[in-house]
Structure 1
């Protein structure tokens, strides 16, 4: 199985499954876009085994490009792991203090954001497509963690996973204006006269959002892999029938 591992130490394991032509459905991990649910479940079981875990420890959400987040508790364990019927509804970010739970996020061009707090053990994962970015889901989550969960922003480490590159993320003026109106994304946008399109770096915009939330810049890492250009990437922009990467993070106990 093709897994891009971002963190693997005594406390945290986090990474992202990639397209793999040797696997069922090329390693697709999403039940909401698949040809055969059993193939996806086999892929998930294989991932769980590689993490020394079980499929029942996954927690999945029905992602709707919202700015909604959910604190995962022990009773949530297994939601969305084997069937769509049990997913956490209308949610694009998950966090938990619980160990041995695999928080999951599904992407095919959107930005996956992994976060972990070395002091109190909190972990989280965010699905930030361009709609989530302009709704500021990531900074809203951090503000909640700081204000409600009493986290210190300086204790967080953030990994921004593989996503659509600025070169391939071309948009019309309506989306450009939404990013411009954020007030801090202008440095991550360029205009291409030959196509009359704007190109936006969603990853760098999300990084800026993390910095504005108080996360130290040197504790934020970006994976430069473009899901469109890389043969290991699932890209909705390239292929509307594309499978999905699964971004995962788990705190070990």
Structure 2
């Protein structure tokens, strides 16, 4: 069953995909992924563009982010994000960090592709247009995290770095941790060339009890390959100690569904960004 559920009945404001299994725990968790629908942006960014770095009007992006906060019932002041650089850098978000990056790139947490926190009332957000959104929830120590995994972040095993940071900072036991993999470009649409293939094959060869490598990296006659970034990140989560039964994985492909989602690959770079979000409500 698809874990990220799009409410097609929504007609006003931001149109969202909610990670229902986590939202329904009764623990005050909110988590999900935005679509491209229900915002104020125009042109290539129509209409719910969440990215300040793609050429859209800043005021429209901020208005879209405010619509997300309103739709999930959170104050916009809690919206906290980073300036992503396709790294494996993880930032532990403190109470003082709350709200950074919500309305400008300059105030964002710099050079960071994963955010973790145990502070209630902080809403973590990251941005995507094909890359893989990774979600983490520790129900025992009450901590959450997000990671942005393009092929470079995947090759650097950013999921492992995120879990390791949560272990050090919050005492997280990976076996009790829950993970989720959100909408992203699928193996149906993500073609890569030689250098990426080599990095991915080396990475996948280190997985224990994983599917065959050629099911994750399907070589084509042209010397290229179709890459399953979602499954590779699932295997990295398992390598980090998360139980397979604790991992949700989305079937939504951003490239297949440009009616609903932004895709950098399918739209040749002329597009907006979706946002992943996660937070724990204040008690």
Say yes or no: TM over 0.5. yes
Q: Alignment RMSD, CA only? A: 1.4
Q: Is the 8 A contact 1:184 1:208 kept in 2?
A: no
Instruction: State the partner residue of 2:154.
Output: 133
**Residue 206 of structure 1: aligned partner:** 233
* Uncovered stretches (5+) of structure 2, i.e. residues with no partner: 1-13, 208-212
Structure 1 residues 223 and 23: alpha-carbon distance in aligned structure 2, compared to 1, 3 A threshold: farther
Write the distance in 1 (CA, Å) between the matches of 2:126 and 2:168: 24
Quick one: which of 100, 103, 110 aligns to 1:82?
Answer: 103
TM-score, scaled relative to structure 2: 0.86
Any conservation in 1 of the 2:116–2:166 contact (CA below 8 Å)? no
What displacement does 1:241 show?
1.8
- Which aligned pairs between 1:180-191 and structure 2 lie closer than 5 A? 180-182=201-203, 183-184=205-206, 186=213, 187-191=215-219
- Alignment check: 8 A CA contact 1:71 1:96 kept: yes
Q: Which one of 121, 132, 142 corresponds to residue 163 of structure 2?
A: 142
The 1:137/1:48 distance shift into structure 2, 3 A limit, reads same
Scaled by the length of structure 1, the TM-score of the pair is: 0.96
1:5/1:21 Cα in 2 relative to 1: closer, same or farther (>3 Å)? closer
State the aligned residue count.
252
Deviation above 3 Å: which 4+ runs of structure 1? none
SS of residue matched to 2:133: strand
Aligned partners of 1:81, 1:248: CA distance in 2, in Å?
A: 12
Name the residue aligned to 1:16: 33
Is the Cα contact below 8 Å between 1:68 and 1:91 reproduced in 2? yes
